[in-house]
Structure 1
Amino acid sequence: MVVQYLLIALVALVASLDEQLFGITMLGRPLFTSLFVGIILGDIPSAVMVGAALESMFMGSVMVGAAVPPEVYASGVLGCAFAVITGTGTAAAVALALPVSVFLQVWRNFCYAVPGAYASRKIDAALANRDLAKANLYHLTIVPLAIGIPSALLVFCSLYFGADLINGALSSIPQFVMNGLNVASGVLACVGFALLIRTMSNNKLLPYLFIGFILVMYLGMDVISIAALAACVAVLLMFNQGPSGQSDTLAEEDDF
């Protein structure tokens, strides 16, 4: 069983590195990693069914702009493996994956703030010396390994020592530590939102950003309804375009 636990931890490691090294290919999602968990444990049907249930639960957990969702990669691997090993099904997978996903997302925020800042300084120094190879090495190792190795160790220890021990360890973390990490994650979200606004610093695009913000914060609309509304607005703008690709209003202003 130890070899199987090590292989499952390796799957969690690769899944955790997906968005860091491979450009968010979605290959680290529970729907995909459950197949490998099933192959390792010799029960593919059960693993895939649990993975599909976890994927449906985490389907909306995608980092977009300032949104920081729970971690779905290593937590999905752990929940799937635990459910298959114990034979308890989806309920046990969800019960274990949820707290672990929240903890791992807090850990990721810490890695972005501390090892990430260190990596940025090292990369800047390497680029100042025109050493592109060293800059790439720092970029591909410091933050990815700081995220991937602890995630894989957490999965291995959870399987080897039991889920109760890991849940107890997570519960024993002082509240002030969790509060501090939550504050840091909030600051990172503000930075991400500011970067998003800076990217969209165009007088024609910014109103759409603030309209979306108002719809969510003050009108309580969900993502699907806002996406449908945005699609309708896009269609109306497309129909109002002139032959040159500009809207009729802009074309009149240019002629004037």
Structure 2
Amino acid sequence: MIMAWWQILLLTCLAFWMIIDQITVGILCNYPLLIGFVAGIIMNDVKTGLVVGATLQLMVLGVGTYGGASMPDFMTGAIVGTAYAVMTGKGGDFAIGLAVPVGLLMVQLDVLARFLNVFLLHRVDHFIKLNDTKQAARNVVYGVFPWGLSRAIPVFIMLIVGEKFIRQVLAVTPQWLTTGLKVSGGILPIVGIAILLRYLPTKRFITFLIVGFIAAAYLKIPMLGVALLGFAMAIFYYQKTIKSSEDHESNSTVNNANGKEYENDKGEYEN
């Protein structure tokens, strides 16, 4: 498939918007799944976009960035991975193998964007001291461009090279490398799940985890069915917790009442 100019333009605009959206209005937020979905619509292959986006989403579950910390930008990886998967026809696993290094590259460009915004931040401080609120607000808006361009420019360059260049690269790429990319693309979601389980109270809910594993691995229940089973278990656990809390409060009330009666009887006896 050869990409049309408008597809390259829309994907570049999506790359520019997504990082701004993440730190402002939060429509698409930090969800590779949604970015992959939109990229799939643009590439006229929603299924591939969802596969790539969902796989990358598994890798960032439970991962967040705080303060000035940077994390791999798998949203950009979802755009590039979806586009390359559709152009080459090599499937989602190959696209994931390409999307991961793209996401890691974005860490360096994210640091560069933050560095450039320091200059604008000092200008904001300067205009605040001068009580020039219009210039201060204007420089805050200017800070959008380093952020957006740090994603849009790399995506544009990666897409503008076109399908012919990609096929030439693939033609000289060793088979072991492409196979390795596919294998890593299949393994990485498991790593994401493992990281998530590491920080969840897994030991406390090990029973539910085993039930879900049996349902998916042995009973071959579709993912929607497993999700509904998990939802039912969550409701059951919630209701059980509420009932246990109410019983505890009821017992505490009874114990307090009995304690007061005992103290009153004891006081009357002593008198």
Q: Which interval holds the TM-score relative to the shorter structure?
A: 0.5 to 0.7
Gaps in structure 1 of 5+ consecutive residues = 169-220, 229-238, 240-256
Is the CA contact (8 Å cut-off) linking 2:117 and 2:146 kept in structure 1?
no
Q: CA deviation at 1:137?
A: 2.0
Distance in 2 between the 1:118 and 1:152 partners?
Answer: 21
Which of 197, 200, 208 is the equivalent residue of 1:224?
Answer: 200
Q: 1:80 to 1:58 in 2, by over 3 A?
A: farther
Q: 1:67 to 1:149 in 2, by over 3 A?
A: closer
Q: CA deviation at 1:42?
A: 1.4
Gaps in structure 2 of 5+ consecutive residues = 170-196, 205-247, 249-271
Alignment correspondent of 1:247: none
Alignment correspondent of 2:161: 161
Distance in 2 between the 1:224 and 1:25 partners?
Answer: 27
Q: Secondary structure at the match of 1:70?
A: coil
Distance in 2 between the 1:146 and 1:124 partners?
Answer: 18
Q: 1:44 to 1:26 in 2, by over 3 A?
A: closer
Q: Runs ≥4 in structure 1, deviation > 4 angstroms?
A: 162-165
Q: Report the AA paired with residue 91 of structure 2.
A: G
Which of 16, 19, 27 is the equivalent residue of 2:22?
Answer: 19
Distance in 2 between the 1:73 and 1:50 partners?
Answer: 10
Q: CA deviation at 1:87?
A: 1.9
Q: CA deviation at 1:67?
A: 5.0
Alignment correspondent of 2:187: none
Alignment correspondent of 1:120: 121
Alignment correspondent of 2:148: 148
Normalising by structure 1, we get a TM-score of 0.59
Distance in 2 between the 1:160 and 1:55 partners?
Answer: 26
Q: 1:152 to 1:66 in 2, by over 3 A?
A: closer
Q: CA deviation at 1:127?
A: 0.9
Q: CA deviation at 1:8?
A: 0.9
Distance in 1 between the 2:88 and 2:94 partners?
Answer: 9
Q: CA deviation at 1:26?
A: 4.5
Q: CA deviation at 1:70?
A: 0.9
Distance in 2 between the 1:41 and 1:67 partners?
Answer: 32
Q: CA deviation at 1:60?
A: 3.4
Which of 85, 88, 94 is the equivalent residue of 1:86?
Answer: 88
Q: CA deviation at 1:98?
A: 1.3
Q: Deviations over 1:4-30 (max 9, x none)?
A: 1111111111112123333x5553522
Q: Is 1:100 the equivalent of 2:102?
A: yes
Alignment correspondent of 1:133: 134
Distance in 1 between the 2:121 and 2:80 partners?
Answer: 31
Is the CA contact (8 Å cut-off) linking 1:15 and 1:29 kept in structure 2?
no
Is the CA contact (8 Å cut-off) linking 2:113 and 2:146 kept in structure 1?
yes
Instruction: Report matched runs for 1:1-256 at 5 Å.
Output: 1-22=4-25, 24-65=26-67, 68-112=70-114, 114-142=115-143, 144-161=144-161, 222-225=198-201
Distance in 2 between the 1:14 and 1:156 partners?
Answer: 13
Q: Report the AA paired with residue 94 of structure 1.
A: I
Normalising by structure 2, we get a TM-score of 0.56
Q: Secondary structure at the match of 2:39?
A: helix
Q: CA deviation at 1:122?
A: 0.5
Distance in 1 between the 2:104 and 2:93 partners?
Answer: 17
Distance in 2 between the 1:156 and 1:10 partners?
Answer: 9
Sequence identity percentage: 24
Q: CA deviation at 1:49?
A: 2.1
Is the CA contact (8 Å cut-off) linking 1:14 and 1:28 kept in structure 2?
no
